[in-house]
Structure 1
């Protein structure tokens, strides 16, 4: 099989790299594409799009391959694979970075931190830049500097007819609006240009762990602590077990526990003051908050979510952390059968909430907290284990129903979250506007192997 004008690597089922190339982060996803087109640059991407359209083949687009629903790979179609396109160019004087579409957040942090700069990225360094950005982009820096999409200045996009466009505030502004939260519905983004900000290289960061029995009291304290926190303080709550990381004493490994993970995007001494009350609440099991390199903090939990394990997610935005919501969280968080399963809650607000609602396609500006329920099991565990973990996640989400805003972060939707939940992610008004942009740039819905917005 050949593609005219393609210089990259073409991988089919007989190739020695086929099984490796079709594998994605979520080991539960097992799909067999007809062709994997590993692109070397934008011209290859355009050629692969035209080939797939000419042959009426399904298209999947792979950036980092980290989406839990496995949207980066399809059955019997063409995977347009950007994993070889990971270059990052930093302009320290202009405080910007140009990032290729296959880059991971670890690539961006590695290059930008040489200059003491960063932008809002994910909380796991092997997350792909493209997927996280196109869905909105939440992370530790968002309360200070906004979502990833709030820092996107321009994008190079290959559209459904194989054209290469530049999208920005001045060029194709309708497409630029849609790319900032609308997912992979509008084309293949081959490069991004981001605004960077002074961060690090040392930050006050890390987790504080408490025993699971303290969950209700800790979350009540955290509710008030987070509400008064400065924008510079990003926090993520993790409820599950203490991961068996090298920095954790062995007697705490796999112990049920709650952690509040902190990162202060400012001077270390200011960060120490900002987290002091949290660290002194009750008697923590373990306090790992300390001055450390920002890049070290950003990859500190990578080993807790490795490639190849099986993942299933359920998520929702919360109206707040009232006592009843806290009771539901405390009651369900530790009922998973696998010690690898957990729930993670993001504190939103700050700059995220101050960006005008209609400036991007990301719809969750007024949300105080987002919770993601992550069922996890190993590939060698039984189908019964998988069923038990997914049932736990569904029960947990159902129990949270009275406390849901009615919105959800699109990047946290799993494969069985259908059209109704995609609409929930955007709301009717934003969804209709996205559908109009979709009809203009992809009227045939060629890019539908995603959390799909139908042309309208």
Structure 2
């Protein structure tokens, strides 16, 4: 008898879920809002994540054409108890743009692709369906620029929501630092414009944690006159032993701390698998946004402290041409983007507590050995945030919800499955977790390092502290104010 009761309970639950799904479809269809649902011919493609390690089933993927339609979608989600998430470019490392779990209503912003540029005022209004390639091309043609990453397909929505780093960031700041106003749909469906003077507390939260507070439809930004020339450079060292590799990283860290390096130098240290066991390869790459003849005067004092390079490369052109170069030769995003199957982690090193020499040596030793034998492919980017004259670090730590102003490096650890296709091997998790631990366990006691929300890690246990630091408590209070029913809910959203 008990089995029959349990079966009836299951049937009631299934019938109820079908009823709710039908209500959602009916509610959206009644407003003529385009949407894709499970079972539709378009659904498999529409719900495909960038990172194929995940496979979520949204309740619906909507394609609003107006801000008013977004407002209605948010209200329907709230009324029918669905979490609602925004998808700008769809490049969330853990598929938060699909809800980060089954059953979300996705607001796909691909119809929001307008860019309005006012060169005289040095401003632009950018809708959040734009990709970085679209923005760089449009601004570049108008003789303007904006600090942002180099991958053309990344959406501006998430990029600007949590930071936004590029080689121009030491000169101009993070993408979110350029924002003067945010146009957003709130949890109750209200359409708001947040600025320093209008909803200043919300404006603070939207610059560092926007996805938890609303659906951002456009950002208003200050732009910068594009430099007349720029150079993309790379200095490479191949097949280094762990000790030599650690000395290069430590030397560069000290160099940016003690030298008066100009803001128009941006860069990163890249690390790759070495040619034989016990080795790794390193490059120092970046952008120089000033006449090239002045580059040597800045870099040579560093190079004199390092081993001879294996090779160097330089590309000089207009600012727009340097963006195209960094984008792989084109900023065109009209063709479909690719996919990967990967795991990523991050680490932001405090300016007042840099990586110790012991931590750096443990890090390079791990890479030279476990990195060579790892089942996964991998690369590491140590992005230069700090150093003297950095516009990133010049912003007060409390000015925005971005928590890690006083950082030297933001390090991305990225590992892909063989051939970039599922499944991702379990050994890959152990490899990358051990790599990060080689640094943190050899750092100062109680080292207060951070992590970067745009390189989001689904296995980071203390993510609230690492992503948001002490800002988390203020964000949690604002979440209760602006989204008390937790409509904008995904695995790493702010808790009320």
1:400 is matched with 439
Inter-partner Cα distance in structure 2 for 1:181 and 1:22: 26
| Residue 272 of structure 1, CA deviation | 4.9
Match of 1:215, SS? helix
In structure 1, list runs of 5 or more residues that go unmatched: 243-250
After alignment, is 139-148 or 160-169 more displaced?
Answer: 139-148
- Deviations 1:197-232 (Å, cap 9, x if unpaired)? 123463111322211415223223322333322221
* Cα gap change, 1:32 to 1:282, in 2 (>3 Å): same
After alignment, is 439-448 or 9-18 more displaced?
Answer: 9-18
1:118 is matched with 145
What is the alpha-carbon root mean square deviation over aligned residues? 2.6
Q: 2:94 aligns with which of 69, 74, 78?
A: 69
- Structure 1 residue 184 corresponds to structure 2 residue 211: yes
Q: 1:257 aligns with which of 265, 281, 289?
A: 281
1:341 is matched with 378
* Cα gap change, 1:40 to 1:278, in 2 (>3 Å): farther
Inter-partner Cα distance in structure 2 for 1:83 and 1:397: 36
Q: 1:389 aligns with which of 384, 404, 428?
A: 428
* Matched pairs, number: 440
Q: 2:162 aligns with which of 120, 135, 142?
A: 135
2:347 is matched with 316
Inter-partner Cα distance in structure 2 for 1:218 and 1:126: 32
- Deviations 1:121-167 (Å, cap 9, x if unpaired)? 12322221111111122221221111112111111000011110001
2:456 is matched with 413
| Residue 375 of structure 1, CA deviation | 1.4
- Deviations 1:92-136 (Å, cap 9, x if unpaired)? 111111111121111110111112211111232222111111112
| Residue 73 of structure 1, CA deviation | 0.5
* Cα gap change, 1:43 to 1:275, in 2 (>3 Å): farther
Inter-partner Cα distance in structure 2 for 1:347 and 1:328: 21
Inter-partner Cα distance in structure 1 for 2:234 and 2:492: 32
- Structure 1 residue 238 corresponds to structure 2 residue 270: yes
Match of 2:188, SS? coil
1:353 is matched with 393
Inter-partner Cα distance in structure 2 for 1:266 and 1:9: 47
- Deviations 1:294-314 (Å, cap 9, x if unpaired)? 2223313999xx731112112
Inter-partner Cα distance in structure 2 for 1:86 and 1:210: 42
* Cα gap change, 1:108 to 1:278, in 2 (>3 Å): farther
Inter-partner Cα distance in structure 1 for 2:144 and 2:256: 25
Match of 1:123, SS? coil
* Cα gap change, 1:241 to 1:206, in 2 (>3 Å): farther
Report if aligned partners of 1:204, 1:272 keep a CA contact under 8 Å in 2.
no
Inter-partner Cα distance in structure 2 for 1:25 and 1:372: 17
Q: 2:111 aligns with which of 79, 84, 104?
A: 84
| Residue 283 of structure 1, CA deviation | 3.1
Report if aligned partners of 2:231, 2:316 keep a CA contact under 8 Å in 1.
yes
* Cα gap change, 1:78 to 1:25, in 2 (>3 Å): same
The TM-score, its normalising length taken from structure 2, stands at: 0.82
2:326 is matched with 298
Match of 2:255, SS? helix
Report if aligned partners of 1:45, 1:80 keep a CA contact under 8 Å in 2.
yes
* Cα gap change, 1:6 to 1:289, in 2 (>3 Å): farther
- Deviations 1:50-82 (Å, cap 9, x if unpaired)? 121121112222111111111000312211111
Q: 1:12 aligns with which of 29, 37, 46?
A: 37
- Structure 1 residue 424 corresponds to structure 2 residue 466: yes
Q: 1:155 aligns with which of 182, 186, 206?
A: 182
- Deviations 1:159-184 (Å, cap 9, x if unpaired)? 01111000111211110011111241
Match of 1:72, SS? helix
Report if aligned partners of 2:376, 2:418 keep a CA contact under 8 Å in 1.
no
1:56 is matched with 81
1:453 is matched with 494
